[in-house]
Structure 1
């Protein structure tokens, strides 16, 4: 089984796990951090050029943490900086709990310690609010909730990609105000359907987070409709000594929408825990 990853930049190594599950890794490129760090972007199984599982039901947290560990072993680094975005943050939390000796520092970016009914009810309510706010100028947003809640087994890769691209504006605080900046990335997004068909126990590490020992930064956009400040504060309050950075006027993609503030937050955190300037 091939597990691909992509390396960019020079300096201390930071391993990056993208979200989804099933979104192509390219959206998570962080050029500003690449100027002073070696960013290793994982291309999760089921996406891009990485291998495909024979049974789509096996795309679950255990599978992703297994392949994350395989890459860390392959890199032969005794300790790593680990950044997980959204669903990748679920993987990063699980990995840091299971392998505390391998994680030197942890960045949990726009993620949550739990999913389930309350998580999804909140996301749908936030998206409904977004649609009401924008529907008069952008009538297409009326279909965003249906896109978010569509059964994933209804789509192939092209259909899943179309849905993701359609609802992309909701992942920004002000997509249409900066559409010239964001539209090319929107059209480059790729979604792979099979990872959404995975089966496994519900994600909930709330009772375990107090055991995290790695220095941790919890980073969130204040207008993230799906993994917003409520969930970030839940992590921050549970993880001993963690730092919380809230990016103002920012949605789910702060490394794009507020890149300077995002980069500053990461660099200052890493400097505070290592004594080095990243």
Structure 2
């Protein structure tokens, strides 16, 4: 059932919940897109009560700023309060790992566990982005020229969807089904908030790799599970920076999976994440 979360500054956020068990709140990727983690939630509904939401300005939430990581952290707090959660596990995917991690750093007393799925660690983005860009272009293959054409000019809404589907197709290990799976992720299509994306990405670029971020991670007394697909075009070694900084961390790489490991290894993902959430230690 869809629910409306009202933030302290009056913005309406779309949210939903389902399942039974440990309360966990998802933080979707982007920034600037919407929660398309419904199939991930289905894997965990017999082991967790899953709360999903669209971040400010994205998807089914009200398209109104301001846009910043701090604002998103506050909005996540509004989601927590709306559902009456004193403490919660957090699961972040892609950019959502950064949001979930920042919330845990700011409010560790509210976070029981953190699942960090397909993130890129805490080093400066310049350390891994060249490798990512090379892998992206390699995986686009015959679609590269079309992607470059769309990326270089103003687009219609339909072309925005085509651009995203092409780019997202590079995120799957199964190259034969990649475009089909990417189009499924883009359905239904809620549009990209490019202002939100640019603003938050610029902020993340400024703050990643700082000594302050590493020092905060070194003090985080929250169990963290890092999950990554072995075939993700974002290099696995980018996660070493985070793993080395966290005092309570475990890490699992899922073979044969890309950036959405629950799609390409659902059983492995369900086992690893479900067991972590159920562990009461």
Give the TM-score normalised by the residue count of structure 1: 0.83
For 1:64 and 1:122, locate their aligned partners in 2 and report how far apart those are by CA, in whole Å: 28
1:26 aligns with 36
Answer whether contact 2:169 2:179 (CA < 8 A) is retained. no
**Unmatched 5+ stretches in structure 2:** 1-10
Q: 1:196 to 1:157 in 2, by over 3 A?
A: farther
SS of the equivalent of 2:59 reads coil
Equivalent pairs counted in the alignment come to 261
Map 1:1-278 to 2 at 5 A: 1-30=11-40, 31-54=42-65, 58-112=66-120, 113-131=122-140, 135=141, 139-144=142-147, 150=151, 154=154, 158-177=158-177, 184-188=184-188, 190-193=190-193, 194-198=195-199, 201=203, 202-204=206-208, 205-226=213-234, 228-272=235-279, 274=280
Shift of 1:187: 4.3
Shift of 1:184: 3.4
Shift of 1:269: 1.6
1:134-183 CA-partner distances (Å, limit 9, x unpaired): x3xxx213444676xx47x9557554332111222211011415776665
Cα RMSD (Å): 2.5
Q: 1:94 to 1:155 in 2, by over 3 A?
A: farther
For 1:156 and 1:88, locate their aligned partners in 2 and report how far apart those are by CA, in whole Å: 27
Give the TM-score normalised by the residue count of structure 2: 0.83
2:3 aligns with none
For 1:182 and 1:52, locate their aligned partners in 2 and report how far apart those are by CA, in whole Å: 24
Shift of 1:128: 2.9
Q: 1:230 to 1:185 in 2, by over 3 A?
A: same
Q: 1:159 to 1:69 in 2, by over 3 A?
A: farther
Q: 1:146 to 1:203 in 2, by over 3 A?
A: farther
Q: 1:81 to 1:3 in 2, by over 3 A?
A: same
Shift of 1:122: 2.3
SS of the equivalent of 1:243 reads strand
Answer whether contact 1:86 1:110 (CA < 8 A) is retained. yes
Higher mean alpha-carbon deviation, 12-21 vs 195-204, is at 195-204
- Runs (4+) of structure 1 moved beyond 6 Å? 178-182
Answer whether contact 2:137 2:144 (CA < 8 A) is retained. no
**Unmatched 5+ stretches in structure 1:** none
